[in-house]
Amino acid sequence: MKRKLTIPRVDSKLLVRDATKLMGEPTRRRFLPAGGGLGALLLLTGCDVIDEDAAEDVLRNISKLNDAIQSYIFDPSLLAPTYPGSAITRPFPYNAYYGVEDAPDLDAATYKFEISGLVDGKKTWMVADLHSLPETTQITRHVCVEGWSAIGVGRASRCATS
């Protein structure tokens, strides 16, 4: 027996039609992201949101495809381009999951986190460990998934890999 998977109360034909309108005129520059987005949308219109395993499998496979394409296109030894301070976007757009006033309070003396998984240099870090690392500053372009970009200054600790 063939089981039809759909998103409850969503007309997949209308969903695809509306998404197509939002894509705008096709250009070479928009082809890959738009085509990938439309492909993901078409795949998801056939998934029942109640069937989480099926949706997770589809999203996992799309993510693997995305990773493979990125590894083919981008050279991992190249750093992001840097810009002069005069190019910094002011004011820099700020959007976050929660406001600064809602950020959780952490005890810096006892808070720790662990780097683990498929990485070299697995380690548990304390806040003091981070503060002891040398700091670097870089002015780069941030490209947001929401469609905007801005040039900003970032400061980070430089971590030696083992």
> Residue 31 above 80 pLDDT?
no
The residue-averaged pLDDT of 11-38 equals 63
Angle in degrees, CA 73, 77, 158, rounded to 5: 130
Could you tell me if 139 and 127 are in contact, meaning their C-beta atoms sit under 8 angstroms apart?
no
pLDDT confidence of residue 57: 81
- Residues ≥6 apart with Cβ < 8 Å to 154: 137, 138, 139, 140
The model's confidence at residue 88, banded by pLDDT at 50, 70 and 90, is very high
Is residue 30's pLDDT more than 50? yes
Mean per-residue pLDDT over the chain, rounded? 76
DSSP 8-state code for residue 111: -
Residue 162 above 50 pLDDT?
no
How many residues are there in the chain?
A: 162
- Residue 44 contacts residue 55 (beta carbons within 8 Å): yes
Position 161 confidence tier, pLDDT thresholds 50, 70, 90: very low
Task: Check whether 11 has a pLDDT greater than 70.
Answer: no
Tokens 């007309």 belong to residue = 11
Q: Across 13-17, 56-60, 87-91, 118-122, which has the greatest mean pLDDT?
A: 87-91
The pLDDT tens digits for 99-152 are: 777 878 889 899 998 988 888 888 899 989 888 888 888 999 988 877 788 999
Q: Cα dist. 134→82, 84, 128, 155 in Å?
A: 19, 22, 12, 10
* pLDDT cut 90: percent of the chain above it: 13
Mean pLDDT of 39-52: 59
> pLDDT tens digits, residue range 49-68?
556 777 778 778 888 888 88
